[in-house]
């Protein structure tokens, strides 16, 4: 692993301000998520009545169905966030990277945004066991998958390759999207940096912070062609402290 960078007093102050913003967002989000549920349930309930009263196959009925679908997508996202917020992220244990990746893939497939995304999981030979917080690393994989989906709004493929490299377990995720411009690559992991409208610019920042917390590293590497490639490297269980 590379040595941690040294910061000047000014740089440290900037980083602390960024961290404060991230923590504020993290603390504020669960309350907002819960508050979304009440009006959402009211909207979905009203849509049920309107659908029952509208004429089937009419334009009004079709538009109401689209509204209902969007509402159900929001409901699914809210449920996933709430379920995850109830999990503990400080439990350290041995786990297999292929099991963890399989769980993350299944969880991602439960979300409506994944319906046009094809996920390919390739498991290489060797011992893929690491030590750390399963939930924290699951968030890392989900955030990278979400980043890939946002880069491919019209659908595409994400290929996940798991392997053992010397004393490291590796997950390489490559998407079939447009890739990352060279001038943007250096800023990918900066807080609130994004090239897409409507995105918060926190997913990759959180993913790298969680990875480093677990003694690993998350990097962006040119794929050598179309798409973006993110590589998650973690110390194998035999080396984890």
Which domain, by its residues, includes 57?
9-85
> Within this chain, do residues 67 and 104 fall inside the same structural domain, yes or no?
no
Q: Evaluate whether residue 99 is within a structural domain.
A: yes
Residue 88 has pLDDT above 60, yes or no: no
**Are both 46 and 143 inside the same structural domain?**
no
Residues 199 and 112 in one domain: yes
Q: Do residue 111 and residue 62 come from a single domain?
A: no
% of the chain at pLDDT higher than 70: 67
Residue 4 lies in a domain: no
Residues 227 and 115 in one domain: yes
Same domain assignment for residues 139 and 230: yes
Q: What is the pLDDT of residues 4-35, one digit of tens each?
A: 444 455 655 555 555 555 544 555 555 666 67
- Residues 135 and 54 reside in one and the same domain: no
**Residue 233 DSSP code:** E
Whether residue 240 is contained in a domain is answered as no
Is 154 inside a domain boundary?
Answer: yes
* Pair 38, 124 in one domain: no
Q: Cα–Cα distance between 230 and 173 in angstroms, integer?
A: 5
Which of 27-41, 65-79, 198-212 has maximum average pLDDT? 65-79
Average pLDDT over residues 58-66: 90
pLDDT in tens, 32-51: 666 777 788 888 889 999 99
User: 168 with 219, same domain?
Assistant: yes
Of 213, 215, 207, which Cα lies nearest the Cα of 233? 215
Number of domains in the chain: 2
* Residue carrying structure tokens 């690491």: 130
Q: What is the pTM assigned to this prediction? A: 0.61
Q: Look-up: residue for tokens 């194998």? A: 236
In a domain, 241, yes or no: no
Domain boundary among 67, 85, 103: 85
Give pLDDT, residue 191: 54
Where does a domain end: 68, 85, 102?
Answer: 85
pLDDT digits (tens, 9 = 90+) for 121-149: 999 888 899 888 888 888 889 888 988 88
Residues 6+ apart with CB under 8 A from 2: 217
Give me the pLDDT at residue 165, please: 87
Shared domain for 174 and 222, answered yes or no, is yes
Q: Which pLDDT band holds residue 217 (cuts at 50, 70, 90)? A: very high
Residues 108 and 143 in one domain: yes
3-state secondary structure of 209: helix
Query: Are 146 and 230 members of one domain?
Result: yes
Determine whether 236 is exposed, middle or buried from the number of CB atoms within 10 Å of its CB (0-12, 13-18, 19+): buried
């Amino acid at each position: 692993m590379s040595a941690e960078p040294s910061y000047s007093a000014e740089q440290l102050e900037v980083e602390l301000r960024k961290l404060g913003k991230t923590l504020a967002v993290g603390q504020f989000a669960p309350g907002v998520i819960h508050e979304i549920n009440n009006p959402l349930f009211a909207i979905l309930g009203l849509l049920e009545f309107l659908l029952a009263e509208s004429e089937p196959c009419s334009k009004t009925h079709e538009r109401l169905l689209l509204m209902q679908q969007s509402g159900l997508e929001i409901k699914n996202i809210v449920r996933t966030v709430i379920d995850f917020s109830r999990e503990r992220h400080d439990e350290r244990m041995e786990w297999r990277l292929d099991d963890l990746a399989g769980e993350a893939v299944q969880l991602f497939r439960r979300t409506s945004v994944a319906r046009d995304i094809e996920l390919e999981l390739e498991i290489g030979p060797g011992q893929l066991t690491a030590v750390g917080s399963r939930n924290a690393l699951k968030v890392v994989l989900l955030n990278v998958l979400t980043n890939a989906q946002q880069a491919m709004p019209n659908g595409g493929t994400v290929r996940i390759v798991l392997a053992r490299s010397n004393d490291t377990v590796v997950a390489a995720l490559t998407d079939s999207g447009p890739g990352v411009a060279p001038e943007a690559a250096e800023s990918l992991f900066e807080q609130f940096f994004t090239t897409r409208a409507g995105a918060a610019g926190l997913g990759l920042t959180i993913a790298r912070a969680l990875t480093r917390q677990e003694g690993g590293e998350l990097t962006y590497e040119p794929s050598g062609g179309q798409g973006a490639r993110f590589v998650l490297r973690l110390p194998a269980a035999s080396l984890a402290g």
